[in-house]
Structures are given as C-alpha cells and as structure tokens.
Amino acid sequence: MNGNGNTNYQYDLVVIGSGPAGQKAAISAAKMRKKVAVIERKRTVGGVCVHTGTIPSKTMREAVLYFSGIRQRVFYGRSYAVKDHIQMQDLTFRVQGMVQRETDIIKSQLSRNHVDIYEGEAKFTDAHTIEICCETTQRITGAHVLIACGTRPAHSAEIPIDGKRIFDSDQLPELAELPRELIVVGAGVVGLEYASMLSALGVEITLLDQRPGLLDFADREIIDNLTFQLRQQGMVFRLGEKVVQIGVDEARDRVFATLESGKKLHAEALLYTVGRQGNGDQLGVEAAGLQLGDRGKIKVNENFQTDVPHIYAAGDVIGFPALASTSMEQGRLAACHMFGTAHGMNGTVLPYGIYTIPEISMVGKTELELTQAKVPYEIGVARYEELAKGQMLGDQQGMLKLIFHTETLKLLGVHIIGDRAAEIVHIGQAVLALNGTIEYFRDTVFNYPTMAEAYKVAAFDGLNKI
C-alpha cells in the first residue's frame, strides 16, 4: 500500500532526476519503507552535479591548483608550476575517474535501498502518470512525484555556440586544448569560477557582465579582495557592459564580442555563462496542471509542494540558491513532508561556497544587510598572513571576517576568502545556528596551527574595538 493508502499507483514516489535532490528524496522515502522509482535520462545516474556541474568543476579546480603550482609560488617564485605546458587532458584525467567513482557510489546507494531506476526521457501524461521514452516507451504511476530535473546552461538564439570557439560551461571540459585568450561573458558564480581557474593556468581572461558589480549577495570587502587578487593575475574586468553581438571573425580566425558602449573585443575563444535554464520545460508539466516560471523554474511553497499538492519540486529547478548542498536537504525535506515525517531545516544559516581561486565562503548576514536593517554591529578580522597555517599554505591574501552585534555580542555573519574557506565556515555556521556570541571563539581552544585559529584572532580583533 502506498503513502496515500491507495493501491492504484505502482509507486509511492516517482522522482524525476537523480541529482542531489532526487537522490536524497528517493533514499529518504525508501528508508520510510515506501516504493520508489527514479527516472534519469542519462545513461549514468548523478545528474548535472556529478557529470557536468559540481563534481567535474571542483575536481578540475583541484587539478588546476596542483598543476599551476599557484599555492607554492610564494615559496618558489611566481614562475613556479608543476608542469610547463598544461593540456586539457591533464585537467580532465582526474575528472573522469572522480565522476566514475561518484556514479558508482550513487548507484550502489539507490540499489541498496531498493529504488527502481528507469532510463529515458520523462514526460507527464497526467498528474500521476509519467511516460518514459527510451528505446521503448513505458508508463509508470506514482502517488507522489518529485521534480528534480535540474538545469542546463542558458543559451540565446543570437549566440552562435559551436562548442569549440564559442562554448558554454558544459562544453568547456570537452575542448581539445586550452585557449591562450578567453572572453568570459557572465560574471555569475559559474563564470567567475571558470575564469579564475583558467587565469591561474595563464590564460588571458577578459570578464564581461552588464551588472556593475560582482556577486551582489556577497560581502563587499570579500569581493574587493577577490577582484584585487584576480587583477593581480592579469584578469581584465569589463563590468557594466552589455554585449550586443558575439561572432567569429573568419578572416582573423578570432572570436569577437561587440559591446553596447562601442568597444569590440577579440580573443581566441569565448565562454558564455549567463545563467541556467530549468529543465522543467522538457517534462510536459502542463499535462499535470503545472505552469513554469521564468527560465523554466518551478514555483514551490515552504514544503516544496507545487500548485498540484502531490507534486513536489526541489533542487536547481526551483531556483536560488541552486547549490548541491541545499538541493540535498530540499529533496530530503520534500520526502519527509509528503509522507508525514517530522523534519526541519535551519534556513537562516545556509552556508555558501564559491569555488573561485581563491575560494569564498559565507554564512549569515552581510554588512549591507545589517546596515539597511539598522542593526548595530562591529567586525573582527583575521588575515591569513597573521596565521602560522596560512603562511604554511602560502596564502598571504586570505582573510576571515566576523560580524557581531555591538551590544549582545551575538554572531551575525561569517565571511571568508582564501584557502579552506568552504571548510572552516562551518565552525561559524554552528555558532550562528545555536545563537552563540563572539565570546565563544575567544574562550575556545583551537588546534594549533590550523586555519580554525582564525576565529580566535578575529574575535580578539573585534572585541578589542568595543
């Protein structure tokens, strides 16, 4: 009997997509003794996260850090590199092994939990029935459905993407060789991550975006630090510039980008990263009574229910924050809600990791948010160059910044740029979630030498100010 007490459906839950949200929802429901199916259009499970997004890009980043020797240059000189002529296959070799291992792990988890996996394109024929098109066509029914189909790079009909000289982020790892010069259109998280990686390898990068600043949800001081470091590497920023035409100058064998201001930029190649398009437009959701929002996004309530109560959606397809970490939790919570199990997520202290070089991570409020809310605050800062571990790692530009209430001393925000940022942010996240004060860091003993010690240094800095 399924979760509705109704025996008319084959499954209690049908999950469309096997990325982080789909996996966690399927496994959570299976552990509640529900009958679950997952539909994945690719031949291998894992979704965008494993095959073209999070896992490949972060694995490539580790390969870039290794081959470029960028962390060791403070010790061995600016020209130091592990390998002189770094090829694309040097970067993708590690990626291929990592993707295969992650795929095997996810397959094993689903199999151990008795989740049925269907391969093919999913389309709704009604609110409970999904048609799966592969070599043959079959239909399955579910009392509940979770849409976790993810996103793809957004394209424009005016942009002649050929996958070779003009390409998107999914196509970049498939390049035969690294370009010497690259125009990056779009300075969002994906554009910045790839631009900084390639810049670390010596590729001449020009970064274009029509917005006047970078990552407006992040702390301004952290972004200023990032911009400074990337400029030091030679990256050129063209912000507040709208691109009106992109094409290939065949006579010069160069890609060009014409800007609204009249400028015309040339380079060997162009990376087009202007956001993501939800894959909900490929599911025939209208047959289930759903309407799609901007760029194929699906609207949900606080329990991840769509306008059709038994149909849920989670992950990148519902929009911001579109992180693998939050998607996992959204999928789990959706499964808990549909089957009436107690659940909860502390939505006020979600951490963000931006895997540029150097990396950025944050949790809690920014100075701008607190200023607009008229909350009195002070900051405490620890600079990596002051830390023994920071010196050992060769990071002299990194910093950790604590924001706290001037009267109660309650921690309000943590913002970090530098090596291990996405790891050590969770110390601050725990204190935030427990409504702790900055005094916790002053009075706690941290291992020495570690990057975690930055919290104690920043706490002393902040407390000295008041």
Query: What is the average pLDDT across 357-363?
Result: 97
Task: State the residue for tokens 């996260």.
Answer: 49
Q: What percent of the chain lies above the pLDDT cut of 90?
A: 76
State whether the Cα torsion 278-63-108-304 is positive or negative: negative
Average pLDDT over residues 99-126: 92
User: Are 267 and 282 members of one domain?
Assistant: no
Is 28 part of a structural domain of the chain?
yes
Indicate if 299 and 396 belong to the same structural domain.
no
**CA distance to 67, 73, 88, 95, 164, per residue, from 60 (Å):** 10, 20, 10, 6, 19
d(CA 466, CA 227): 30
- Assign 14 a pLDDT band (cuts: 50, 70, 90): very high
pLDDT (0 to 100) of residue 23: 95
pLDDT > 60? residue 160: yes
Domains contained in the chain, number:
3
Q: What is the pLDDT of residue 79?
A: 76
Say if residue 64 is in the same domain as residue 133. yes
pLDDT value at residue 47: 79
pLDDT per position as a tens digit, 396-419:
999 999 999 999 999 999 999 999
Q: Are residues 147 and 289 in the same domain?
A: yes
Structural domain that includes position 54: 11-153+277-348
- pLDDT surpasses 80 at 84: no
Is the distance from CB of 144 to CB of 327 less than 8 angstroms? no
In Å, what is the CA distance from 49 to each residue of 17, 113, 137, 225, 432?
11, 21, 27, 28, 28
Kindly state the tokens that stand for 339.
């089957």
Q: Tell me what the mean pLDDT of segment 431-443 comes to.
A: 97
The whole-chain average pLDDT of the chain stands at 92
> Considering the domain boundaries, does residue 353 fall inside one?
no
Model confidence, pTM: 0.91
Q: How confident is the model at residue 80 (pLDDT cuts 50, 70, 90)?
A: confident
Share of the chain above pLDDT 70, in %: 97
Residue 295: the pLDDT is 87
Same domain assignment for residues 20 and 148: yes
Which pLDDT tens digit goes with each residue over 209-230? 999 999 999 999 999 999 999 9
Which residue in 435, 442, 446, 443 sits closest to 459, CA to CA?
442
Is 158 within a domain?
no
User: In terms of domains, do 221 and 239 share one?
Assistant: yes
Top-confidence residue, 346 or 372: 372
- Tell me, yes or no, whether 149 and 176 share the same domain: no
Residue 5: per-residue pLDDT = 47
In this prediction, residues 244-258 reach a mean pLDDT of 92
Domain boundary among 348, 369, 390: 348
Closest listed residue to residue 31, CA positions, set 98, 95, 109: 109
Q: State the pLDDT confidence band at 344, using cuts at 50, 70 and 90.
A: low
Q: How confident is the model at residue 347 (pLDDT cuts 50, 70, 90)?
A: low
Tokens of 345: 């997520």
Helix-then-strand count for the chain, H and E: 13, 22
Question: Is residue 191 helix, strand or coil?
Answer: helix
Which of the listed residues 317, 348, 379 is the one where a domain comes to its end? 348
Q: What is the model's pLDDT at position 228?
A: 97
147 and 288 fall within a common domain: yes
Residue 250 is predicted with a pLDDT of 87
3 band by pLDDT with thresholds 50, 70 and 90:
very low
Q: Predicted confidence band at 1 (pLDDT cuts at 50, 70, 90)?
A: very low
Which of 15-19, 63-67, 166-170 has the lowest average pLDDT?
63-67
Among 274, 298, 314, the domain-final residue is: 274
Indicate whether 133 and 228 sit together in one domain. Answer: no
Q: Which residues pair with 130 in a beta bridge?
A: 124, 140
Structural domain includes residue 381: yes
Query: Which of 82-91, 204-213, 437-446 is predicted least confidently?
Result: 82-91
Residue 348: pLDDT band by 50, 70, 90 thresholds? Answer: low
Let me know whether 267 and 297 are in one domain.
no
Length of the chain: 466
Q: Tell me, what CATH number does 220's domain have?
A: 3.50.50.60
